[in-house]
Chains A and B, each alone.
Chain A
Amino acid sequence: MREWIWIGATLVGLGIAPSSAQTAQAPFTTAQAAAGRTAYAADCASCHQANLSGSGEQPALAGASFMAAWGRRPIRDFYADISANMPYGRAGSLDAATYQAITAFVMVANGAHPSSVAFDGTQTTPIGSIANGQIPADIAKPKAPRVDAARAPAMRLGQTLVGDIKNYTPVTDAMLVHPDPKDWLIYRGNYQAHSHSALDQINAGNVVQLQLKWSWAMNEGGENATGPTIHDGVMFLANTSNTVQALDARTGELLWENRLGPIATRAYSALRSLAVYQDKVYINATDAKLYALDAKTGKVAWETDIALPGRGFNETGGVIVAHGKVIVGLTLCRGQMPHCYISAYDAQTGAQVWKFTTIADKGTPGGDTWGDVPDDMRAGGETWIAGSYDPELHLTYWGTAQSKPWMQASRRSGTAATLYANSTLALDVDTGKLKWYFSHAPGETFDLDEVFERVLIDHGAQKTLMTIGKAGILWKLDRVTGKFIAARQTVFQNVYDGIDKKTGRLSFRPDVLAQKTNTWISACPSAAGGHDWPPTSYDQKNDLMIIPLDQSCNLMRGHDVAQHTGSVQTEGEERVFFMPGTDGNMGRLAAYHTADMKPVWSFQQRAPFLTGVLSTDGDVSFVGDYDRVFRAVETTTGKTLWTVRLPTVVQGNPVSFAVDGKQYIAITTGLGGGSPFAKPSSMLGELHHPDHGQALYVFALPDQVK
């Protein structure tokens, strides 16, 4: 820090300016900028990166993209923006002096020079008149990674408790194909991603008697959006900071704990799932490492890198184990080589078996769908949620995220499909060979990706795959061939104005096609999605798919993109607004028959739903929301039967299991979670929640049911 102040002071003292574009006096002091650098490292760098380059949905705060977004606006607007929305998940929690200091540092990071005038949050100096987007070398390439140490919880990494679980039964392939209802072995309940429990002890008639049996505080400091895995009365929990814990599922007693690390900060730190197979527990860490832990002791059996370390790759979507292989995706791929990929590892040894790259380069199949975009500028295609699996067809099904930059005009790829972004992929489980793909939204341009759960449903002899993405369009495909069968809109959307009923090809609203960079264009739903990562549930008995939906819109403006390797980010900015026709309700829960795609029931509420849905054979479904409500609804009608208010946002994946003949329901509270969490934080100012309180709650009926 002292060195930086010296450099800054020297530059100012010598009157050296990196660009002649700076003409106005910068209204902040050296001391403010120095304080801002410290505060930025503590409260901002985990999302926006130490060099302010941005990451995923978190925009760059320095360079051309920042100047495109902010260059014409007064410095007080930037201050007001971060004061209202930041830090992520703790909006408005810093004092005014800290926000002012961070503003000063961000200006310095864009080439502005301090002066003797202190920034007090009111100055209207245009940012473009004091900054030029040229990032000082010591900020562009920090000497060492700056961990936001001030906000990371103090935590000793490593195994803190070695387990000694007796009578653990290895999980076989047969058990995964036909899970015992008392277990929850796969993150979506079964290979078909139904998120359904065949348990029926808790039913529509007695659910009102549910009571808390035990709870478990989870780590603070990172995002939490997980769901536990249960086998033989042992609960395996993917806690934040890449901590894995085994708990007695009946009592909540800790059996073992291994803090793999790295310690979570804020963005992209939610581990959605882990997997169990044979005598091991498998988990991807957020730094794109894959671990196998001994299920009885928690000790590391093997570990391997999913991607090259230190390149910024990340993985939060979780893993599945299928046919003896651990299969995992990859996220935060920014136009660097290699691109994002799905990869499989031998469950016993950790050796990589296959890899399928989700972005097609020139000269490879699908490579011509990016137009003239250079290979190292092709980005996106992340896999935010682990796939599903059909053991009979021997295929694993994965969704992929949108291509980046978000907008066609920034990407310069027109309406080309940019394969294999926004697609369903059917991969041979043993070889990773692509059996078929379906491109849901060729040319997608508003961060409306189609990356979420792939639900496998049989309709008689017809084997289908159903999925729903951010546009809120429920898709039905033939999962043998990938052929389009049907589509159904579930929320208001105005991006597409029609569909070819034979092919499923969507057509864009004309003004979307005519887009230009640096021009606002409207999109409903917003980037929070009509549907996002909180998954659906499928109740086979009633042929009902229950879908958590989200209702908001945005204006989006795409920037021109710097053309160099690794530079590709979202390159867009958003302004949010409430969705027309919703009366200000952001949450919608809806049920559809999957055979004919007809809607059965729906209801709306102010708060969006931030958990997946769990349906059960007791005709009760569970879901949680942003306003801290965890509820049970009658599966066939949507009528609310039971609610409980938890300490903070209910976020994660509810599961059900049984121990000693008693059925339990488990759910987590959590913060973070990307756009679905950020949008209500910005739009629903009357709904409050603590910025801590991540925990696991386990409910059951009283021991003596009335």
Chain B
Amino acid sequence: MATMRWTILIAFAATLSPSLAQDYASRLTAVAYDGAMRANVQGDGHVSARLDGNRLTVTGDFVGLPSDAISVKLYTGPGIGVPGPSIYDLALDGTRAGRISGSVTLNEKALVALKQGHLYLQLNSQRAPDGNLWGWLLPQHDFAGSDVPEAGQGFLPQLDVPGNWTEK
């Protein structure tokens, strides 16, 4: 665990240098829903993102939407798991299943948001125009796999992504 934290911190520091890339990833799952919304926010997906300098390149895929995808965008909020406004459009290829891609130049505020894990991707669909799937872009990290124990406590975003927790 300690090794992973150092790896992430070093990678975070490396993003300050335009010559080194940083990888991010997210699983796309249903946006926040209640029972009335449930039928319209099904589906699954994955995205990977690479930050090179302030250029973020995103690729991903999705499956199982209950209605056709209409847009996919990057959003930012005041915390990991905290929704907010959209800031960049990405490209969509497919309807109920398909691919996501895009390359955007992040402004300074968005760059900080990404490094703090506050940037997320949201896919909107016809019957869920305000959100069908979403996922927060967090530093690429190892996952031992379901049911497989790992030493330490594994990846905890508020501890492993800088800027989300302070002790004084």
Q: Which of A201-209, A210-218, A255-263, A594-602 contacts B (4 or more CB under 8 A)?
A: A594-602
- Which chain B positions have C-beta within 8 A of A638? 149
- The contact string, 1 if C-beta is below 8 Å from chain A, for chain B 23-47, is 0001101111111111100001000
Known: A580-B157, A605-B146. A499 touches B167 (CB 8 A): yes
- Assess the B34–A637 pair: CB atoms within 8 A: no
| Residue of chain B at shortest CB distance from A553 | B81
- Assess the A601–B157 pair: CB atoms within 8 A: no
Known: A578-B30, A602-B153. A493 touches B158 (CB 8 A): yes
- Assess the A509–B79 pair: CB atoms within 8 A: yes
- Which chain B positions have C-beta within 8 A of A376? none
Known: A578-B30, A580-B157. A494 touches B166 (CB 8 A): no
- Which chain A positions have C-beta within 8 A of B117? 580
- Assess the B167–A498 pair: CB atoms within 8 A: yes
| Residue of chain B at shortest CB distance from A505 | B168
- The contact string, 1 if C-beta is below 8 Å from chain B, for chain A 578-614, is 1111011100101010000001111111100000000
Chain B CB count within 10 A is highest, among A77, A588, A601, for: A601
Q: Which residue of the partner chain, among B27, B33, B39, B159, contacts A584 with CB atoms under 8 Å?
A: B27
- Which chain B positions have C-beta within 8 A of A583? 27, 143
- Which chain B positions have C-beta within 8 A of A507? 166
Interchain nearest-CB distance for B79 vs A (Å): 5
- Which chain A positions have C-beta within 8 A of B77? 522
Within 8 A of A (CB), among B123-168: 134-136, 138, 141, 143-144, 146-159, 164-168
Q: Which residue of the partner chain, among A490, A497, A592, A599, contacts B166 with CB atoms under 8 Å?
A: A497
- Assess the B83–A522 pair: CB atoms within 8 A: yes
**A82 adjacent to chain B (CB < 8 Å):** yes
- Assess the A603–B147 pair: CB atoms within 8 A: yes
- Assess the A80–B39 pair: CB atoms within 8 A: yes
Within 8 A of B (CB), among A469-500: 489-494, 497-500
- Which chain A positions have C-beta within 8 A of B29? 577-578, 584
Within 8 A of B (CB), among A48-100: 73, 76-86
Known: A498-B166, A601-B149. A81 touches B82 (CB 8 A): no
Q: Which residue of the partner chain, among A577, A580, A592, contacts B33 with CB atoms under 8 Å?
A: A577
**B13 adjacent to chain A (CB < 8 Å):** no
Interchain nearest-CB distance for B139 vs A (Å): 10
Q: Which residue of the partner chain, among A489, A524, A603, contacts B81 with CB atoms under 8 Å?
A: A524
Known: A81-B36, A83-B35. A581 touches B156 (CB 8 A): yes
- Assess the A85–B35 pair: CB atoms within 8 A: yes
Expressed in whole angstroms, the Cα–Cα distance for A460 and B153 within the complex equals 26
- Assess the A604–B154 pair: CB atoms within 8 A: yes
- Assess the A682–B35 pair: CB atoms within 8 A: yes
- Assess the A494–B38 pair: CB atoms within 8 A: no
| Residue of chain B at shortest CB distance from A501 | B167
- Assess the B135–A580 pair: CB atoms within 8 A: yes
**A361 adjacent to chain B (CB < 8 Å):** no
- Which chain B positions have C-beta within 8 A of A633? 149
Interface secondary structure of A, over-half rule = mixed
- Assess the A577–B32 pair: CB atoms within 8 A: yes
Expressed in whole angstroms, the Cα–Cα distance for A580 and B29 within the complex equals 9
**B18 adjacent to chain A (CB < 8 Å):** no
- Assess the B82–A576 pair: CB atoms within 8 A: no
| Residue of chain B at shortest CB distance from A579 | B81
| Residue of chain A at shortest CB distance from B152 | A599
- Which chain A positions have C-beta within 8 A of B81? 492, 494, 522, 524, 553, 579-580
- Which chain B positions have C-beta within 8 A of A574? 34
- Assess the A490–B153 pair: CB atoms within 8 A: yes
Known: A498-B166, A637-B149. A509 touches B34 (CB 8 A): no
Known: A522-B81, A580-B81. A605 touches B38 (CB 8 A): no
Known: A497-B166, A522-B81, A601-B152. A492 touches B158 (CB 8 A): yes
- Assess the B147–A640 pair: CB atoms within 8 A: yes
- Assess the A602–B152 pair: CB atoms within 8 A: yes
- Assess the B159–A489 pair: CB atoms within 8 A: yes
**A573 adjacent to chain B (CB < 8 Å):** yes
Q: Which residue of the partner chain, among A491, A509, A577, A637, contacts B31 with CB atoms under 8 Å?
A: A577
Interchain nearest-CB distance for B81 vs A (Å): 5
Expressed in whole angstroms, the Cα–Cα distance for A87 and B26 within the complex equals 34
Q: Which residue of the partner chain, among B82, B141, B149, B159, contacts A639 with CB atoms under 8 Å?
A: B149
Interface size class on chain A is 35 or more
**B80 adjacent to chain A (CB < 8 Å):** yes
Q: Which residue of the partner chain, among A84, A491, A522, A640, contacts B38 with CB atoms under 8 Å?
A: A84
**B9 adjacent to chain A (CB < 8 Å):** no
**A372 adjacent to chain B (CB < 8 Å):** no
Known: A524-B81, A604-B146. A494 touches B37 (CB 8 A): no
**B1 adjacent to chain A (CB < 8 Å):** yes
- Which chain A positions have C-beta within 8 A of B168? 498-501
Interchain nearest-CB distance for B155 vs A (Å): 6
- Assess the B157–A80 pair: CB atoms within 8 A: no
Chain A CB count within 10 A is highest, among B33, B148, B164, for: B33
Known: A501-B167, A583-B27, A604-B146. A78 touches B36 (CB 8 A): yes
**A363 adjacent to chain B (CB < 8 Å):** no
- Which chain B positions have C-beta within 8 A of A575? 32-34, 37
**B94 adjacent to chain A (CB < 8 Å):** no
Within 8 A of A (CB), among B81-140: 81-83, 117, 134-136, 138
- Assess the A580–B136 pair: CB atoms within 8 A: yes
- Which chain B positions have C-beta within 8 A of A553? 32, 81
- Assess the A522–B79 pair: CB atoms within 8 A: yes
- Which chain A positions have C-beta within 8 A of B165? 489, 497-498
Within 8 A of A (CB), among B1-27: 1, 26-27
**A229 adjacent to chain B (CB < 8 Å):** no
**A554 adjacent to chain B (CB < 8 Å):** yes
Known: A492-B81, A499-B167, A581-B138. A576 touches B33 (CB 8 A): yes
Q: Which residue of the partner chain, among B26, B32, B141, B153, contacts A590 with CB atoms under 8 Å?
A: B153
Known: A500-B168, A599-B153, A603-B144. A84 touches B83 (CB 8 A): no
- Assess the B158–A522 pair: CB atoms within 8 A: no
- Assess the B154–A494 pair: CB atoms within 8 A: no
- Which chain B positions have C-beta within 8 A of A604? 143, 146, 154
Expressed in whole angstroms, the Cα–Cα distance for A467 and B154 within the complex equals 21
Expressed in whole angstroms, the Cα–Cα distance for A577 and B28 within the complex equals 11
- Which chain B positions have C-beta within 8 A of A73? 36
| Residue of chain A at shortest CB distance from B38 | A84
Expressed in whole angstroms, the Cα–Cα distance for A682 and B159 within the complex equals 29
CB-defined A-B contacts under 8 Å, sample of 30 = A77-B36, A80-B35, A80-B39, A81-B34, A492-B81, A492-B156, A492-B157, A492-B158, A493-B158, A494-B79, A497-B165, A498-B167, A500-B168, A507-B166, A511-B78, A522-B81, A555-B83, A573-B34, A575-B32, A575-B37, A579-B81, A580-B80, A580-B81, A580-B117, A580-B135, A583-B143, A599-B152, A602-B149, A602-B154, A637-B149
On B, residues with C-beta under 8 Å from A are 1, 26-27, 29-39, 44, 77-83, 117, 134-136, 138, 141, 143-144, 146-159, 164-168
**In the A-B complex, the 6 residue pairs with the closest CB atoms:** A638-B149, A599-B153, A81-B35, A84-B35, A77-B36, A498-B166
On A, residues with C-beta under 8 Å from B are 73, 76-86, 489-494, 497-501, 507, 509-511, 520, 522, 524, 553-555, 573-581, 583-585, 588, 590, 592, 599-606, 633, 637-640, 682
Given contacts A492-B81, A575-B32, A580-B26, 20 further A-B contacts (CB under 8 A): A80-B39, A82-B35, A85-B34, A491-B156, A492-B156, A492-B157, A509-B79, A522-B83, A575-B37, A577-B30, A581-B156, A585-B146, A592-B153, A600-B151, A601-B149, A601-B152, A602-B153, A633-B149, A638-B149, A639-B149
